[in-house]
Every structure is written in C-alpha cells, then in structure tokens.
Amino acid sequence: MTKPWSRFAAPASFYPLTGRLIPVFWVLAAAFILIALYWGFFETPDQLGGSNAQKGYYRIIFIHVGAAWMSMWLYAMLVAWAAVGLVFKTRLSFMMANAIAPTGAIFTFLALWTGAIWGRPSWGTYWDWDPRLTSELILFFLYIGYIALHSAIDDNRRADRAASLLAIVGLVMVPVIFWSINCPDPNQCAALHQRSGLRKVDGNILFAMLTMTLGFWMYSFATTLMRVRSMILTREAETAWVQDLVRAPERG
Amino acid sequence: MFKVFWSVLHRDLLLAVRRRTDVLTTLVFFVIVVSLFPLGVGTERAVLRVLGPGVAWVAALLSSMLALERLFAADYEDGTLEQLLLTDQPLVLLTLAKIAAHWLLTGLPLVLIAPLVGMQYHLTDSAITVMMMSLLLGTPVLSLIGAIGAALTLGLRGGGILLALLILPLYIPVLVYGAGAVTVGAVALGEARLYLTLLAAFLVAALALAPFACAAALRISIE
Amino acid sequence: MMTKMLEFISQGGYAGYVWSAYGMTMTLLFIETVGLRRGNRAILARLQRLLRLCNAGDKQ
C-alpha cells in the first residue's frame, strides 16, 4: 500500500479528512440550492414564447429533474464503490457504497413524488405508467432491496459483500429492465415524456436546474460522508485511534 | 467434468422424487393463484381474455420465486453445500446443476399445465401454444436469476420475503415479454416470434452470466 | 407588496402542486440531515460512555 491515494483508504486517515470536507460541502450545498431557488422563482420567464403564459407548476421541474438525475448517478456511484470494494477488498469502499444508498433512495422517492405532482396538472393524473416514471419506481425497489439485504445480515463482512454483489447484478439488469419498460412492444417504443434535449430549454430555467443539481450533489457528498463517519466509528470502536479521538475533548 | 453436473442433477432429482409434495405445492400454488383471479375480477370472457396472459405470467413469477427458497436451504442446513464448496470441482457447474434440477422440478410443470390456464381464461389455441413456448423459454431465466437471490439470502431470518424484494424487480423483462408474447400470440402465431426471440436471448445471457454470479454469492454466504 | 406576496404564494393557481413538491423535498432533506447529526452524536456519546466505564474498571 504505497500508492498515494491509498493513504486515505484507511479509515483512520479518512475520518479527519472528512471532518474538514463536510462543512465545505454543507456550505456549497446551501449556497447552490439557495441560488437555484432564487433563480427558479424570480428570474425565470413568465412567458412561454409570445403570449403563451407559462404554467406555474413548471417550477417543480427544478427539483424533479435534479432528483431524478441524482437517483441514477448515485446508483452508479454505489455500484462503482461496491465493485471497487469487491475487487480491492477495501473496507472503506463498502462503507461508501452503503452510505450512498439511503441518500439515493431519498432522491428516487423525491423524483417519484415530484413527478406525480407534475403529472396531475400536465397529464391529468397523479400516476401514469410512463416509462421513465416506472423506471424510477423500479430503481426505488432496487435501492430498497440493497438496503434491506444489507440490514438483514448481521455479519458486516458478509453484508457488505452480499449487498455489493446484488448492486452489481442490479446494474447489469437495469438497462434490460428499462428497455423492456420502454418498449413493451419490441417493434416500437413509446414514451409519454417529451424527448427533449437540454439545448431547447430556456437559459434561465437551465441555469436554475443545473445549479439545483449541483446543490444536490454537494448535499449528497455531505450526507454520504457523514454516514461513513458514523459507520467508521461503530465498526472501528475497538481500535486505538477511535478511542483517542473519543478521549479528546474536541471532536475532530 | 460433466460427470459432476450429472451427479448433482441426478441427486437433486432423486431427492425430489422421494419428497414429492414439494414439487406439487408449487404447482398447486400456481393453479390456485390463477383460479382466484376470475373470482376477483368477474368471469366475463372478454375481460378474462385480456387478463389471462398477464395473470398467468405473474402467477408463474410468484410460484417460481416461492420455490426458490428451497433451492439451497436443505443443503445449507445439513452441511452438504459446504462440502460441495470444498470439493475441487468448479462451483459454477455445481450451481448450474442445482438450478437445472430446480427448473425441471418447478418450472417445467408450469409449462405443462399452461393449457389448463388457457382454458380457464378462454385463450385461443395459438395463444396457448405461445404461452407454453414463452414459459418454456422464460421460466429457466426466472430460476437462473432467482438462484442469485436465493444464494444471497441463504440462512437469513425472514429470507423468503427478502428474496421477493430482491428478485421480483429483476423479473420484469421476462414478465413484459412473456406476457406480451401471449397477448400478441392470440392474434397470430407469427406475431409472437420477435418476443420469443428476445426471451431466448435472455435465456442465453442468463445461462452465461447467472451461474457465475450465483457461485460468487454462495461463496460470500458461506465462509 | 402584499398582493405581490400573495401572487407569489399562489404560483399562478398551482400553489398546491408547487409547494407540496418543494415542501416534501425540503422536509426529507432536513430530516435526513438532522437524523445524521443526531446519529453521529449518539455514537460518539456512547463510545465516550463506554470508555469511561472501561477506565473506571481499570482503576479499581
């Protein structure tokens, strides 16, 4: 273990590092989300080209798109850490994977919740079996499955590795699942969502959307690292460095 | 090398023949679920014809999943599985043999009983043919994917319900195209060809990948 | 001023939709944050207690 990056793979050196990083991520998250909220509510156009008034509910899109993106990226991150853990057998990678899951599940739920609320005024129904909404629901089940499997196994080592394997199997299946939901008839694929590129979106709306997503990213970093810290403390309670840390009056 | 495969397969089948009720319960469960639906949604022929494919496939999913719990459980409890892991034979082949035996005992009977479902739901002859073909291609995929979940939840409390949580989302592609094939097959046999090809592709992919994942899961669960 | 506030709150007649979406988001993120802080503190407190107990045992 002489590679420079592996220095932080040890929980003992990772813990103080996160102590310094977490406040930074919190500040950035708050700043980005506040900017996005201000921009989304006050600087975006009321007109949708000509006299076509923009419908008020479009403001949901700033959190809906961000949450949906986060739900997918976080799953990819989770699987990446799980794979690293299985290959290099590093404890910290498993903890990272495990710490991402709850935040990912929350964002998936938010994407579903905001999607349903969006659907009511625009499609006239809270739930439609729209491919993307259905895919998001399946992704939610995958997160829940990962968390449930991990918490059902008492032995940390087995729990880490079993849940990681499940996450990897899930990632292999995800394209097939999403594809089958998108094209129940293999001859043609239909979608309720408009196929829209980012380029067609108004600049101000795009700015609010992307800033909100950045804020969500920072938030995810902060919560994940906090969860890893808790996990390190519980799992390494017997080690000397944790006991030194606990003995010190200020919490580093 | 294939001798290992055959001996494990033979052993599992022999054990099942000695304990016939295990096989029968899966089959009866399937028939009961399928028979309950008309009581719940009404017995109108047009409605049943629309629901039939989906109901049959969901019932197949559930019964094959319920049977999964027993795939490794008995061998795990009496220590046979640990012995199998310790042999120098390739574990992938052993798991594949166990999955094959499991499918012959729980998947194949569903295929054979499918015409009964077809009659209950007033499906056309061509739809029944397609249903049998799609079940023949699809149920092995269910066994293969499900085996990974069964290996991961080995020996856990509440393993059955956990297994459902882990595995059912992964069954979706098989459900979509399996039921889709039957729906389309009601019109003409040829229409379902694309669906059946896709199911066959899933089967090949699952055969190539799932035994490895399952073997890895077994190693994780037994240490 | 007042009318502008009301206009903002009404969100062009879609107040229920917009605020329930934002409300749920902010509530969940807030709950997660608070839960994590609490969990962290609880673990540290527990470890400190354990350590005190050990030390007390050693001295006797």
- Identify the closest residue of chain A to B165 by CA–CA distance: A145
Q: What value does the mean pLDDT of chain A take?
A: 83
CB-CB under 8 Å, A57 with C43: no
Say if A226 falls within a structural domain: yes
Break chain C down into helix, strand, coil percent, rounded to 5. Answer: 95, 0, 5
In DSSP notation, chain A reads --SGGGGGGSHHHHHHHHHHHHHHHHHHHHHHHHHHHHIIIIIS-SBSSTT-BPPGGGGGHHHHHHHHHHHHHHHHHHHHHHHHHHHH--HHHHHHHHHHHHHHHHHHHHHHHHHHHHHHHHHSSS----HHHHHHHHHHHHHHHHHHHHHH--SHHHHHHHHHHHHHHHHHHHHHHHHHHH-SBTTB---SS----GGGS-HHHHHHHHHHHHHHHHHHHHHHHHHHHHHHHHHTTTSHHHHHHHHSSS--
Identify the pLDDT of residue A50.
46
Residue type, B221: S
Q: Per-residue pLDDT averaged across C6-23, rounded?
A: 78
| Residue A147, domain member (yes or no) | yes
C-alpha distance from A145 to closest chain B C-alpha (Å) = 5
- DSSP state, residue B112: H
Strand partners, A47: A53
Which tens digit of pLDDT belongs to each residue from A94-106?
A: 999 999 999 999 9
Overall domain count for chain A: 1
Do the Cβ atoms of B202 and A176 come within 8 Å?
yes
- Name the residue among B157, B162, B195 with its Cβ closest to that of A148: B162
Q: Which residue of A has its CA nearest to B178?
A: A184
Q: In chain C, which residues have their Cβ closer than 8 Å to the Cβ of A60?
A: 17-18, 21-22
All residues of chain B having their beta carbon less than 8 Å from the beta carbon of residue A179 are 173
Residue A87 has pLDDT above 50, yes or no: yes
Give the one of A145, A185, A186 whose C-beta lies nearest to B165's C-beta. A145
Q: How far is B156 from chain A (nearest CA, A)?
A: 7
* Closest residue by Cα to residue B176 from B45, B33, B35, B58: B58
Contact (CB<8Å) A230/C20: no
Contacts of B149 in chain A (CB under 8 A): 166
pLDDT tens figures, B5-61 = 888 888 888 888 887 787 888 899 999 999 998 898 888 888 888 888 899 999 999
The pLDDT of residue A196: 58
Q: Which tens digits make up the pLDDT trace of A16-65?
A: 888 889 999 999 999 999 998 888 787 776 655 444 455 667 788 888 98
Helix (H) / strand (E) element for B108: namely helix B108-120
Q: Which chains would you list as touching B if contact means 3+ CB atom pairs under 8 Å?
A: A
Q: Both tokens of residue A46?
A: 């009321």
Does a structural domain hold residue A7? no
pLDDT in tens, B110-152: 999 999 888 888 888 888 989 999 999 999 999 999 999 999 9
Contact criterion met (CB < 8 Å) for A142 and B157 = no
Q: What pLDDT was estimated at residue A199?
A: 63
Q: Specify if A14 maps to a domain.
A: no
Provide the shortest C-alpha distance from residue B148 to chain A (in Å): 8
Across the interface, whether the CB atoms of B176 and A144 are under 8 A apart is answered no
Going by beta carbons, is chain C in contact with chain A, meaning 3 or more pairs sit under 8 Å apart? Answer: yes
* Closest to A101 (Cα-Cα) out of A211, A218, A228, A214: A228
Please report which confidence band the pLDDT of residue A200 belongs to, taking 50, 70 and 90 as the band edges: low
Confidence of residue A198 (pLDDT cuts 50, 70, 90): low
Share of chain A above pLDDT 70, in %: 85
pLDDT in tens, A110-161: 999 998 888 887 777 778 787 888 889 999 999 999 999 999 998 888 999 9
Q: Kindly tell me the sign of the dihedral angle through the C-alpha atoms of A196, A198, A201, A207.
A: positive
Q: Is residue A209, in this structure, part of any structural domain at all?
A: yes
In chain B, pLDDT over 90 holds for what percent of residues? 42
Q: A168 in a domain, yes or no?
A: yes
- The nearest CA of chain A is from the CA of B198 a distance in Å of 9
Window B:150-179, CB contacts with A under 8 Å: 152-153, 156-159, 162, 165-166, 168-170, 172-173, 176-177
Percent residues over pLDDT 90 in chain C: 20
Give the closest of A120, A227, A246 to C17, CB-based. Answer: A120
Average pLDDT, integer, range B63-86: 86
* Chain A residues with CB-CB distance to C51 below 8 A: 243, 246-247
Average pLDDT over residues C42-59: 81
Judged by CB atoms closer than 8 Å, whether chains meet at A230 and C39 is answered as yes
Please check whether residue C57 touches A, CB under 8 A. Answer: no
Q: How far A171 CA sits from the closest chain B CA (Å)? A: 10
Q: Is C37 on the interface with A (CB under 8 A)?
A: yes
Helix %, strand %, coil % for chain B, to 5?
A: 90, 0, 10
**B158 vs A contacts (CB less than 8 Å):** 152
Q: Is A149 on the interface with B (CB under 8 A)?
A: yes
Which of C28, C36, C48, C49 is the mutation pick for testing A, counting most A CBs within 10 A? C36
For chains B and A, tell me whether 3 or more CB atom pairs sit within 8 A of each other.
Answer: yes
What sign does the dihedral B110-B116-B117-B123 (CA atoms) show?
positive
CB contact under 8 A, C29 and A64: no
Alpha-carbon span A143 to A159, nearest angstrom? 15
Chain A contact for B220 (CB, 8 A cutoff): yes
ipTM for this model: 0.88
The domain of A93 spans: 27-43+56-247
Query: From CA A117, how far away is CA A252, in angstroms rounded?
Result: 43
Q: Pick the most confident of A116-130, A171-185, B79-93, B142-156.
A: B142-156
The nearest CA of chain C is from the CA of A101 a distance in Å of: 12
